[in-house]
A and B are shown apart, each in its own frame.
Chain A
Amino acid sequence: MAHYKILGRDPYWMNFFGLMILTLIEVVAVYLPLGGVAGDYGMTEKQLTLWILTFIAIPKFAMIAAIFMHLFGDEDSKILTLTALFPTFFIIVMVLFIGLTHPDATTGLPAWCRPGTYGL
């Protein structure tokens, strides 16, 4: 269990409230008309929404992993965090060497496994 406090309060309650607030912001971000703001930054509204959602998903992910899953503040937190991050290596390999080096991967597939042609 956690042996620390967040702003002098129970970390689990604080984490819970923080996650709820971030989720509310996500939902609001989808419904807010952001077209004007997006235009100012040279983006479409959809792109800006995606950036906001990604920006919020990262702290949410970290908050659950660090506080609820005890990857912060416990004596074994460090090695378990490294264990959890181990797949990152494979993810980077996947993105760098497969995703980015084969931009035609989705359209250059053999006919039998191309979208719309596998006859289901």
Chain B
Amino acid sequence: MSGYDDSDHPVEPWGPHDWSHGAPHNSFSPIFMSMGIALFLFMMAQAWSFGTYTPGYIPGILLGLAIVGFGLFIFWRQDISFDGSYEPRSSGVPFKNIQIRKVAVWVFLMSEMMVFTSLFSTYMRYRLGIENCGDMYERLEASHELVSGATYTCFEPASHLIASSGWHLTPGAINTFALILSSFTIVQALRYAKMPDIDEEVRRRKVYRYLGSTWCLAVLFLTLKMVEWFIGFHIPEIGFLGISEQNIHPLVAEGYTINADAYTHHDYHDFIMNIQVSASLFYVTTGTHGAHVAGGIIGLSYMTYKAWRGGYTPTNAVSIEYFGLYWHFVDLVWVLVFPFFYLY
């Protein structure tokens, strides 16, 4: 804690955030948000337990969301007064003289890394531990042991469907480029926010345009994810390019669902598969990543609005840097998700 004296600078109703006098960075909103998230997840699990829907838990879900919203609201109120004049630094090893918030973001990213590592290691283990459906089909076909109407449990990666044609792969491929581009745009926003010798209006325009572009790319990512999972798209005939008219079905319409116990791929004849493990691994991993993008969109919405109001200056531009770390991490995870879940 700093040498802050409460009697000189009374604590405000929204928390001790008298930044100009080195206020301690204690905020109770993370505790509220954690409680809200715990309640939300617990009630969600109860509401859809073992495939049975129990509407009595819906108020609990909404209450959890309301508590999360309340926590975010307090965060926002505390951030509004932050003009960057006081950025506390760590005084102890090993992070001596590094901004405390920066360290906190890295520790947070470390825990995030563990979450995604668990998902990736589970995927690797099952992918290598359960016989691949393609291999099983070829083996059974070759030995004439394929039993018509029987269900086989095997690992059917989503990539078998997604990478089966260029059109199926298009949303994922565009998303890859969109995320890389968004990593670049947010770095540019930080660069202009930190630039000391630049006109205030030029800074405001540059920062909100780059942050706005990042927001648009994030929304594009989730939209294409929905297209890929649930909506699909139509390709019109383009004669001079040799493209024929076709409908690209979404994964769900192809039968690749999280609880598919009788799935058939169009490449296999009369081969029914139980793909619950492979499909749930795909949806949980890419869904967790998508949830991180959705969380980023919430943060970006606020930051873009703040930038539009001219809220970023070289002194408080670190906020963009800290959010940028999170956003690059989301990109980093996708760099691994795309080849191993979409291409391989």
Contacts and interface: CB of A to CB of B under 8 A. Distances in A.
A43 interface: no
Interface string A95-107: 1000100010111
B121 A91 contact: yes
B130 A20 contact: no
Nearest to A102: B125
B50 A120 contact: yes
A99 B332 contact: no
Given A94-B121, A105-B125, A120-B50, A84 B110 contact: yes
Interface stretch (B33-41, B176-184, B215-223, B291-299): B176-184
Nearest to A13: B184
- Please classify the interface of chain B as helix (H, G, I), strand (E, B), loop, or mixed, using the class held by over half of its residues: helix
B335 interface: yes
B156 to A, nearest CB: 11
A8 interface: no
B191 A12 contact: yes
B130 A115 contact: yes
A120 B344 contact: no
A65 B340 CA distance: 19
B166 interface: yes
Contacts of B173: 27
Interface of B: 50-51, 94-95, 97-98, 102-103, 106-107, 109-110, 113-114, 117, 121, 124-126, 129-130, 151, 153, 163, 166, 169, 173, 176-177, 180-181, 183-184, 187-188, 190-191, 194, 259, 261, 274, 276-277, 321, 324-325, 328-329, 331-332, 335-336, 338-340, 343-344
A116 B120 CA distance: 21
Given A26-B343, A64-B335, A115 B277 contact: yes
B114 A79 contact: no
24 contacts: A1-B190, A12-B188, A13-B184, A20-B177, A23-B180, A27-B173, A53-B340, A53-B344, A61-B335, A65-B328, A69-B328, A69-B329, A80-B102, A82-B94, A87-B113, A94-B117, A99-B124, A105-B129, A106-B125, A106-B130, A107-B130, A115-B153, A116-B276, A120-B259
A94 B338 CA distance: 23
Contact of A16 (B153, B180, B321, B328): B180
A83 B214 CA distance: 27
B276 A115 contact: yes
A86 interface: yes
Nearest to B159: A30
B251 to A, nearest CB: 18
Q: Which of A50, A82, A83, A107 has the most CB of B within 10 A?
A: A83
A87 to B, nearest CB: 5
Contact of B129 (A49, A84, A91, A106): A106
Contact of A30 (B163, B194, B321, B335): B163
B125 A83 contact: no
A41 interface: no
Interface string A1-29: 10000000000110110011001001100
B338 A1 contact: no
A20 B274 CA distance: 37
Given A53-B340, A68-B187, A116 B274 contact: yes
Contacts of A19: 180, 183
Contact of A116 (B129, B153, B169, B188): B153
Contacts of A99: 121, 124-125
A64 B153 contact: no
